[in-house]
Amino acid sequence: MANRAQIPTSNSALIAMIADEDTVVGFLLAGVGNVDLRRKTNYLIVDSKTTVKQIEDAFKEFMTREDIAVVLISQYVANMIRFLVDSYNKPVPAILEIPSKDHPYDPAHDSILSRVKYLFSAESVASGRR
């Protein structure tokens, strides 16, 4: 048990966001947004002009920052960097895939749920869809 990485308990950690404009604006309205003295933000607005590299870099940065506990990412953005998202095995920061206006939530692509696909029988997925 000594080899397992300790999950840091913190008193105050941020929620990061990589999503489309509307989603980010909504969350910023709620007060999730953070800009520090060095103008580093905890969010990235993804639009048609954002490159995959930019998304990758932001994701990597958020995952390594000590003060971020949760990373919200639109599912269609997550699909663009699927390999990167799937390769992360750390429980913290937690990666949550959220739907966006044009892309409703699809559990089949969720990186967490796909890991335990074998546990899903046809019934449990179908019952959810009702």
Name the region of 75 (left: φ>0; alpha: ψ -120 to 50; beta: rest): alpha
52 part of the interface to other proteins, by CB under 8 A:
no
Q: How far apart are CA 102 and CA 113, in angstroms?
A: 21
- Closest distance between other proteins and the C-beta of residue 79, in Å? 16
- DSSP 8-state assignment for residue 118: G
DSSP annotation of 51 reads -
The DSSP output letter for 81 is T
Q: Which of 18, 40, 42, 123 binds other proteins (CB under 8 A)?
A: 42
Per CB under 8 A, 92 contacts other proteins: yes
Q: Tell whether residue 48 is a contact of other proteins (CB under 8 A).
A: no
Instruction: Please choose, out of 46-54, 58-66, 76-84, 98-106, the segment that lies near other proteins by the rule CB under 8 A.
Output: 98-106
Cα 56 to Cα 84: distance, rounded to the nearest angstrom? 8
Residue with tokens 């913190």: 10
Interacting residues toward other proteins by CB under 8 A: 1, 4, 7-15, 21-23, 25-36, 41-42, 69-70, 72, 89, 91-92, 94-96, 98-101, 104-105, 107, 110, 112-113, 115-116, 119, 124, 128
